[in-house]
Amino acid sequence: MRKEHFKNKVAVITGASSGIGRQISLEFARRGTHLALAARSENALLELQSEIEGPGRQVLALPTDVTNPADVERLIALTLARWGQLDILVVNAGQYIRSPIENLALSDLEKSMAVNFYGGVHCILAALPHLRSQRSGHIVIVSTMDVKTPLALDAPYVAAKSALSGFADVLRQELHGSGVRVSVIYPARVDTPMIGNLKVPAISAKIPPGAVARAVVRAVESGRARFILPFQAYFLYWLYLISPILSDWAAITFHLQGWELQES
């Protein structure tokens, strides 16, 4: 790994307290990045801060609700006040809301949009003026493979994540030549507490959050616009491009949407 992409750089990571965000934080810390960690759970952030902080690794733990623009503005302002720079923004905070469309409450759709779309937009808009003025930086958005190959029952999540991924694609074009890069990560189902009660078939087994964190690292190193993982996910993606009907058949036949486990 080329540590010069990370050493003494400053990264803001949302949704940092658990799952994918926690693993991204640890990966960056190993490479000497200074971190502004954002999530709603202050206790979890403080635990992660104490785990990471050490020689050459400075950490800010900032309780943040990404649905609140004032919180996000404060996050960016405090990061700049501490280090005077912002090099990497990882938009990772998310919420998984699952419902058949026929039973979908508009409040659930609004909640998903608030966190998964507007939460990311708030972070990008708050950081963008600084990134543009310094003519460097990298925005990494953790999306979902559901955007590329949608699955039944995931409409609230897919709608919001699709909106954010489309926003990112437009942003990347508008930032061409600015020195600011934009990457989107499209993981399949990830083994995190967010979908801990979702059982999936072996053919689409959940991937570890560390795999997504390593994809984020590779995105920053390479500047690639998109990462799809794991490799098997490419098969369903290309099947979807070639024949949506066949892709739907595969999703239904193999029950790729999974089953929700009942809490005891």
Q: Which residues are catalytic?
A: 157
Q: Contact, 59 vs 47, CB < 8 A?
A: no
Structure tokens at 183: 């990457």
d(CA 213, CA 69): 26
Nearest to 185 by CA among 6, 9, 21, 16: 21
Measure the CA angle with vertex 199, ends 23 and 105; round to 5°: 90
Which stretches of the chain are assigned E, i.e. beta strand? 10-14, 34-39, 59-63, 88-91, 137-142, 180-187, 198-199, 226-229, 259-260
d(CA 200, CA 27): 27
CB neighbour burial string for 18-39, b if at least 16 within 10 angstroms, e if fewer: bbbbbbbbbbbbebebbbbbbb
